[in-house]
Amino acid sequence: MKISQNLGIPIYQQIAEQFRSDILEGKFAQGEYLPSIRGLAKDLKISVITTMKAYEQLESEGLVTAVQGKGYYVNAQDGEMLIEQHRRKVEDALLEAIKYARIAGMQDKELTETLQTLLQLEED
């Protein structure tokens, strides 16, 4: 796991986002335990409180459940929820692409053509 002090994003959010992505991409199976709070804090050389805050955020989103004395395990993921999460990521990425296209002075037609070209390259 990589965290950065220079991103301007709180460390607990960086941790939560990386676990969220890993869970939604299936890198953690249902029922699998996340690394211990203390162990992760030690590995990342951060506060236990910071790690706990990240795990509590994941729990509030319904991605994990806390078990007293055992840690946090990954909940079963609803297929529709997973699809919706991925669609939200696509929308976010496209909005960011649009923002950069505007900065670069690209017109809508050029942006659409670029997307179509990339889609065709992906199919090959």
Please report the DSSP string for 80-102 in residue order. Answer: HHHHHHHHHHHHHHHHHHHHHHH
In the chain, where are the structural domains located? 11-74, 79-123
Of 47, 59, 49, whose CA–CA distance to 19 is shortest? 59
Cα(2)–Cα(93) distance, integer angstroms? 21
Q: How many angstroms separate the first and last alpha carbons of the chain? A: 32
Q: What is the pLDDT of residues 24-50, one digit of tens each?
A: 888 998 899 999 999 999 999 999 999
43 or 61, greater pLDDT: 43
Q: What is the pLDDT of residues 82-99, one digit of tens each?
A: 778 778 889 999 999 999
Q: What is the pLDDT of residues 5-27, one digit of tens each?
A: 888 889 999 999 999 988 888 89
Domain 11-74 has CATH 3.40.190.10: no
Give yes or no for a contact between 51 and 44, defined as CB atoms under 8 angstroms apart. Answer: yes
